[in-house]
Amino acid sequence: MKNKLKTIDELSLIAKHLDIKGNLIGAGDLKIDGKIEGDVTLDGNLFLSDSASIKGNINANNFECNGIVEGNIFVKEKLTIGSKSKIVGDIKTKILIIEEGAEVNGKCIALKNYEEEN
């Protein structure tokens, strides 16, 4: 996780044994190892481990996905989809990297600028 994405000083963690139902809204970087049922809106970088899942929409500055997402994804800058990822939903991002082995089922839209969506 080091040096892959530009991060800010704070990193929050949702551990593997946690299941959260409800929307998450915040700032700073977030690493999810557990399960979320709800939307995630983050003014920061989001990291989803291979043990994690999100059932809900995602909005973040940068997103490194290695788990399961069932919902639409909007990333202002860079979305990296790891080889163990499974995504069911539409993607809008400026930069998209998909590793071999990843499953993506949905539309992918490349944005030139964040303002295109707003």
* DSSP type of residue 3: T
Name the percent of the chain lying above pLDDT 70: 87
pLDDT score for 10: 79
pTM of the model: 0.87
Rounded Cα–Cα distance for residues 36 and 55 (Å)? 6
- Over residues 4-28, the mean pLDDT reads 84
Residues 24-52: pLDDT tens digits?
Answer: 999 999 999 999 999 999 999 999 999 99
Place of tokens 């994804």: 73
- Across 16-25, 32-41, 105-114, least confident range: 105-114
How far, in Å, CA of 6 to CA of 47, rounded?
12
Average pLDDT along the chain: 91
